[in-house]
Amino acid sequence: MDEIRKIYSILYDSYGPQGWWPLLGLKGGVNPTKTGSVNGYHPGDYSYPRNSAERFEICCGAVLTQNTSWPQVEKALLALKDEGLLSSTAMHYSDVEKIKPRIKPAGYFNQKAQYLKELTSFFINLRGVPRRDDVLGIKGVGDETADSIMLYAFGQASFVVDAYTHRIFTRMGLVEKDAKYLEIKKMFEDALATDVELYQEYHALIVEHAKRHCKTKPECEGCVLKEICKY
């Protein structure tokens, strides 16, 4: 769909590269357009993750960000790191009760601690790049989390759909209110070239636009999509 590509161009021209996925080790990595947390981004540099440790951190972040904001996830990741638990080996051998208090900022810490343990078992036994269906088999991992892991941790072209995507593109008149996750995912993947960098940027730009303008109660004044929005 030409509209999907046009919207990407408008958002990218307005906000520029977003530098997702944020990583704790990139202290100097700042994207001033980013709302909320501003550390750990790498705009225009698509070489991350560069090692297994960064890949594992992204996987953990994808689980922790369920039903919460990124700044809260960052607090949880920092607490895990300070306790020496932000590695697949350390988390594998750690008792789940030790993980729980560290990830409280991200909410649902009882469930998410169990999910992290399941994720870790999967990660340390992994050889090569997983299939999306294999990632979906991890307890606590649904479509959005699986696509985040595939796209950002393993560099596979699997488009991520989140609540912001549904909100914006429903208002744009391109998605039905009751559209299912896989329907929206297919719409984007059919419209776009199969390109990891493009998928990463588009997802991050959608998040940024939703936080700036397309909020639960939209702030249409100054919205870069205002002229083509059906809302």
Give the residue numbers spanning the domain of 190: 2-212
Number of domains in the chain: 1
Q: Is residue 80 part of a domain?
A: yes
For the chain, the average pLDDT equals 94
pLDDT at 39: 81
- Residues 69-90: tens digit of each pLDDT: 888 999 999 999 999 999 999 9
- 111, pLDDT greater than 70: yes
Q: Is residue 231 part of a domain?
A: no
Q: Is residue 225 part of a domain?
A: no
CATH of the domain at 92: 1.10.340.30
pLDDT at 188: 98
Q: Is residue 222 part of a domain?
A: no
Q: Is residue 224 part of a domain?
A: no
Q: Is residue 230 part of a domain?
A: no
- Residues 118-129: tens digit of each pLDDT: 999 999 999 999
Q: Is residue 221 part of a domain?
A: no
Can you tell me the distance from the alpha carbon of 8 to that of 28, in angstroms, rounded to the nearest whole number?
27
Q: Is residue 223 part of a domain?
A: no
